[in-house]
Structure 1
Amino acid sequence: MIFRRTIVWLAFAFLIPAGSAAWAHTPLMLCMDNGDNSITCQGGFSDGSSAGGVIMRIKSSDGRVLQEGQMDNNSEFTFMKPRGDFLVVFDAGPEHQLRVPGRQIGQ
């Protein structure tokens, strides 16, 4: 009985931290149309860390980079709304990228 409890405890001791680490740094982003032909995106991570310095790209429907910049110290990025279809890309590195189609950004 003690042996079984030890195995169960060890399984939880190794699985819980591994599972929580996978979710600890998930990128988050919300983009809003400001109503003045500009869009502001706010970003961050699920563990509460800042997105300041994260690379932001605005791409055309054919993949061309229209605008590029970085999130500021407040984890915000404001850009002029391009004509036609576009995609907002939050690029914090491999497996930490988000893509938001322009048509999904509302006022």
Structure 2
Amino acid sequence: MKKILLSLAFVASSMFAHTAIMSCFDNGDGTITCEGGFSDGSSASGVKFHILQDGKEVYNTKMNEDSEVTFEKPSGEYTAVFDSGEGHQVHVKGSDITE
């Protein structure tokens, strides 16, 4: 009986878990837009967002009320990072961002 209760508690907690998600696209005008959210439909408004180049943070802001960020496309290699805390980060390489 104890094992069954523990299993049910684990399943119940898993049902409320959410995964961070982000997609980015090139607007074709020298800017990039990234949209963030969570697999359970939760808003990403206010979630930290930053750009890394050569391991250094070169830009940081937060997702707006629409869970989006638009920024000037950096020259060279870079990574866009959606950072909602430990275990809830999404990294998108600039080379993977297309129109």
Fold conserved between structures, TM > 0.5: yes
Q: Distance in 1 between matches of 2:6 and 2:49?
A: 40
Instruction: Look up the match of 1:73.
Output: 65
Q: Matched residue of 2:92: which SS?
A: strand
Aligned residues: 99
Please state which structure has a larger fraction of its residues in helix. 1
Which AA in structure 2 matches 1:46?
Answer: S
Deviation (angstroms), 1:9: 5.7
Q: Give the number of the structure whose alpha-carbon radius of gyration is greater.
A: 1
Pair 1:86 & 2:81 matched: no
What 5-or-longer segments of structure 1 have no aligned partner? 1-5
**Among residues 14, 32, 36, which one is paired with 1:19 in the alignment?**
14
Q: Distance in 2 between matches of 1:25 and 1:72?
A: 20
Instruction: Look up the match of 1:43.
Output: 36
Deviation (angstroms), 1:18: 3.4
Pair 1:64 & 2:56 matched: yes
1:88-103 equivalences under 5 Å are 88-103=80-95
Q: Deviations over 1:38-70 (max 9, x none)?
A: 00000111111100001111110x111111111
Which AA in structure 2 matches 1:25?
Answer: H
Identity, in percent, stands at 44
Q: Distance in 2 between matches of 1:10 and 1:97?
A: 32
Instruction: Look up the match of 1:28.
Output: 21
What 5-or-longer segments of structure 2 have no aligned partner? none
Q: TM-score, normalised by structure 2?
A: 0.89
Q: TM-score, normalised by structure 1?
A: 0.83
User: Please, what is the CA RMSD of the aligned residues?
Assistant: 1.7
